[in-house]
């Protein structure tokens, strides 16, 4: 492999409007050599901060990104689309083709951010100036972010290229890795990240991930791989931590000071609203270029479910009614809300599913009932495993709607994406994965074959 000169941003990582793909990476415009960046912990932290900015600004992980939550929320049964752009409507109507520009850009963005994570990992590993603890933390955070990005990509596209290399010639001819092998590699990466990170947060507002965030993602990947015992053990590590407490007040779940929050993304400027509070807001007019909650989702709430009252807003115009997410409420002078990415409730659901899949439904019930009881609903009792999983999927839909693609991931893991045919007329089984971008296939024939059905 030829020698590659590595560059990384000092401060904000700058992306061009037309992002390049994994195999055609342009260096950012504000740059200094990797060696220089990792001679000082402050510049190394600044480089790492650039990735977090991108996770908030333009990423599959950003709360209102068309390349993540909006894409998969409208692709499934969470969101109705009123957007004018045909490529976005094609996602909503499950009529994707390999030339869809949203799919292409999504692929490019994720691999660009993976490239930068790889650059930071390389820089931290090879630094002779950083202290041992700083090297571990920086590498651990970058590993966690890279794994998160790969997990989204794998769930969306199935078999994908997995690379840790920064070598252009190598990456431009890389083959796909089969999905099970990708998940195995992500498990290994996260186990390494868990070993490198500490439980203590490096910021009191929990805007940077710690070891427990890595353990939560590892638990989710174990669950995806049907490794239920390991998933339960990892979820229990979080549930037993003194860092966290279950939030009993439904109105406090999305306040930034909650001890149930594992990781949250801070708005770019002081006083800014979260993107969720701004994007979904409309009142007095019909929705335009926006997404609304599906009637099917809204009707899944019982009348006395406190989440229906607190987290869903109703807008009626000329006898037409729409529903919008209302989890984030502050649109001006915001001092109380950050975008929550990971919260303790997910560990409850992982534990519930892991126990149920081990024929321990009675032990699993308290973990499922926690969010139900908080929402003012009656606790469930005496369910079969099949009925328990049905209830878990329904309850998690009500709890995590419009939060970071949980619905798509949950249905896919349960083998239940075909349930969408009830409300999505164009749904077909092969659409459980998205098409690989045609431009990537043409650039690198080793990515063939295209996903079946496309």
User: Which pLDDT tens digit goes with each residue over 39-55?
Assistant: 999 999 999 999 999 99
* Closest of 416, 375, 403 to residue 78, by C-alpha: 403
Exposure string for 347-374, b = 16+ CB within 10 A, e = fewer: bbbbbbbbbbbeeebeebbebbbbbbeb
Query: 189: pLDDT confidence band, cut at 50, 70 and 90?
Result: very high
Question: In this model, does residue 289 exceed pLDDT 80?
Answer: yes
Q: Can you list the alpha helix ranges (DSSP code H) found in 132-172?
A: 132-157, 168-171
Question: In this model, does residue 18 exceed pLDDT 90?
Answer: no
Question: In this model, does residue 27 exceed pLDDT 60?
Answer: no
Q: Percent of the chain having pLDDT more than 70?
A: 93
Mean per-residue pLDDT, 92-104: 97
Q: Is 376 left (phi over 0), alpha (psi -120 to 50) or beta?
A: left
Enter the DSSP assignment of 22: T
CA angle at 241 for the pair 240 and 242, rounded to the nearest 5°:
120
User: Which pLDDT tens digit goes with each residue over 436-450?
Assistant: 999 999 999 999 999
Q: How far apart are CA 98 and CA 439, in angstroms?
A: 8
Question: In this model, does residue 8 exceed pLDDT 50?
Answer: no
Tokens read off for 212 = 């427990």
DSSP string covering 260-275, please?
A: TEEEEE--SSTBPPPH
- Yes or no: say if 147 and 193 are a contact pair by the CB < 8 Å rule: yes
Question: In this model, does residue 36 exceed pLDDT 90?
Answer: no
Question: In this model, does residue 26 exceed pLDDT 80?
Answer: no
Mean per-residue pLDDT, 320-336: 96
Q: Quick one: pLDDT at residue 33?
A: 53
Q: Lowest-confidence range among 239-248, 276-285, 395-404?
A: 276-285
Query: 34: pLDDT confidence band, cut at 50, 70 and 90?
Result: low
Query: 286: pLDDT confidence band, cut at 50, 70 and 90?
Result: confident
Q: Can you list the alpha helix ranges (DSSP code H) found in 283-359?
A: 295-299, 306-311, 344-356
- CATH code assigned to 1-197+415-448: 1.25.40.390
Q: Quick one: pLDDT at residue 22?
A: 47
Q: Can you list the alpha helix ranges (DSSP code H) found in 280-333?
A: 295-299, 306-311
Domain segments of the chain as ranges: 1-197+415-448
360 alpha-carbon distance from chain centroid: 29
- Yes or no: say if 252 and 258 are a contact pair by the CB < 8 Å rule: yes
How do beta strands 32-33 and 7-8 pair?
antiparallel
């Amino acid at each position: 492999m030829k020698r590659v000169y590595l560059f990384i941003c000092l401060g904000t990582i700058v992306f061009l409007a037309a992002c390049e793909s994994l195999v055609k990476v342009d260096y950012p415009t504000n740059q200094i050599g990797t060696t220089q960046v990792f001679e000082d912990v402050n510049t190394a932290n600044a480089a790492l901060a650039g990735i977090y900015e991108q996770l908030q600004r333009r990423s599959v992980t950003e709360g209102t990104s068309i390349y993540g939550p909006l894409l998969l929320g409208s692709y499934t049964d969470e969101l109705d689309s009123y957007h004018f752009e045909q490529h976005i409507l094609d996602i909503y109507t499950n009529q994707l083709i390999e030339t869809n520009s949203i799919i292409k850009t999504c692929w490019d963005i994720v691999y660009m951010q993976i490239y930068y994570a790889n650059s930071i990992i390389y820089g931290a590993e090879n630094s002779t100036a950083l202290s041992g603890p700083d090297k571990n933390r920086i590498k651990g955070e970058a590993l966690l972010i890279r794994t998160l990005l790969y997990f989204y990509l794998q769930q969306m596209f199935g078999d994908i290229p997995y690379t840790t290399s920064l070598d252009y010639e190598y990456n431009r001819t890389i083959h796909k890795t089969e999905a099970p092998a990708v998940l195995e590699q992500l498990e290994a990466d996260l186990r390494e990240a868990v070993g490198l990170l500490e439980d203590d947060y490096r910021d009191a507002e929990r805007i940077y991930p710690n070891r427990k965030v890595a353990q939560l993602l590892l638990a989710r990947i174990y669950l995806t791989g049907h490794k239920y015992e390991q998933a339960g053990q990892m979820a229990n590590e979080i549930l037993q931590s003194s860092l966290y407490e279950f939030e009993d007040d439904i109105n406090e779940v999305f306040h930034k000071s909650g001890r149930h929050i594992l990781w949250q993304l801070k708005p770019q400027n002081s006083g800014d609203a979260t993107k969720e509070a701004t994007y979904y807001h409309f009142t007095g007019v019909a929705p335009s270029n926006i997404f609304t909650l599906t009637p099917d989702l809204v009707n899944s709430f019982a009348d006395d479910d406190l989440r229906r009252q607190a987290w869903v807003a109703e807008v009626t115009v000329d006898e037409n009614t729409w529903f919008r997410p209302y989890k984030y409420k502050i649109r001006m002078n915001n001092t109380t809300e950050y975008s929550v990415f990971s919260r303790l409730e997910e560990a409850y659901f992982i534990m519930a599913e892991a126990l149920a899949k081990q024929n321990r439904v009675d032990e699993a019930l308290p973990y499922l009932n926690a969010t139900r009881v908080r929402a003012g609903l009656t606790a469930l009792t005496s369910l079969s495993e099949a009925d328990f999983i049905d209830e878990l999927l329904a309850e998690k839909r009500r709890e995590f709607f419009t939060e970071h693609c949980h619905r798509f991931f949950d249905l896919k893991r349960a083998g239940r994406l075909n349930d969408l045919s009830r409300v999505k007329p164009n749904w077909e089984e092969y659409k459980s994965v998205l098409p690989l971008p045609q431009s990537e296939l043409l650039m690198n024939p080793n990515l063939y074959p295209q996903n079946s059905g496309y």
